[in-house]
Amino acid sequence: MFSWKDLSQYDFRIVTLFEPIQLQWMYEWKDQRSIGLLMNHYPTVSWYLKHVNTDLGSKFQHLEQTYNEIIDKSSLHSLERALIDSMEDWIIYVTDPDVYDQLSFNRWDDQELLSLADFKAKTVVDIGSGTGSQLFRLAPIVETIYAVEPIRHLRHYLKAKATSLNLTNVFIQEGLMTDIPFPNEFCDMVVSGHVFGDEPKAELAEMMRVVKKDGMIILMPGNNDIDNARHQFLVENGFNWARFFEPGPDEGYGWKRKYWMAKKEKLMSEK
């Protein structure tokens, strides 16, 4: 998919390293016929998928029962490779997050973020922290920063990196953009990179909930420099925006858009 890492060493068994949220994403976003066929070919993986998550178990069982036709080995292998390649980023998260951290698109100019607000002495929540692209730019400046990340292996990576940098104001929490583990009006700022957009209305409502009145929401969602649905939604809800450059040559580099807004009583779309 991105060619960030050689995935030839992995087969369908790699999904047994996935977090429950990643399995949910796989079920919802990936080719279900391929999953069902591979479950029939890998009984131990099938057992894992049917038992690791109570809510998803019956759904995976349905895929196994639905897609149980005989298929030649060559065709099955092609489906397997395509599925593995489509999950390259998820695989890197649970095997070698440092590969992701070193990608060139994470090397954008710090001022693209730091110039948007005064971060000094602020409490900040970084949602979907990943390997800490925004987190570690802000930690030396802010009072306290909370990294919200659903993938356990990435949380361990973030904690180890914060320790190595002697950062004592970084705290790591499990959570999602639609389920931020903090009370109402908890922080001065919410930031997020390469996360926003799967459920824009619910995600924005949750960010608005945890940020204080007149606090800031800053998003660098990896949005290409086009007027797409994500851009339209954010602009309609009062966000300012500007272009910035994510360096290459990795997949997806180039001109992107960043968004920021001070929290008011209501979103523009609610007025």
> How far is Cα 220 from Cα 137, in angstroms, rounded to an integer?
14
User: Whole-angstrom Cα distance, residue 34 to residue 78?
Assistant: 10
Q: Could you list the pLDDT tens digit for every one of the 271 residues in the chain?
A: 788 999 999 999 999 999 999 999 999 999 999 999 999 999 999 999 999 887 899 999 999 999 999 999 999 999 999 999 999 999 999 999 999 999 998 999 999 999 999 999 999 999 999 999 999 999 999 999 999 999 999 999 999 999 999 999 999 999 999 999 999 999 999 999 999 999 999 999 999 999 999 999 999 998 899 999 999 999 999 999 999 999 987 767 899 999 999 998 555 455 4
Cα 45 to Cα 14, 19, 56: the distances in Å are 9, 14, 14
Residue 251's pLDDT is: 66
Residue 267 is predicted with a pLDDT of 56
Residues 34, 83 contacting (CB under 8 angstroms): yes
pLDDT score, position 72: 97
With beta carbons less than 8 A apart as the criterion, state whether 170 and 199 touch.
no
- Determine if the pTM surpasses 0.85: yes
Instruction: Compute the distance between CA of residue 149 and CA of residue 129 in angstroms, rounded to an integer.
Output: 6
The order of strands in the sheet holding 123-127 is 170-173, 144-148, 123-127, 187-193, 211-224, 254-262, 240-246
What distance separates the 2 farthest-apart alpha carbons in the chain?
Answer: 62
What is d(CA 153, CA 149) in angstroms, rounded to the nearest whole number? Answer: 10
What's the pLDDT score for residue 271?
46
Under 8 Å between Cβ of 76 and 41 = yes
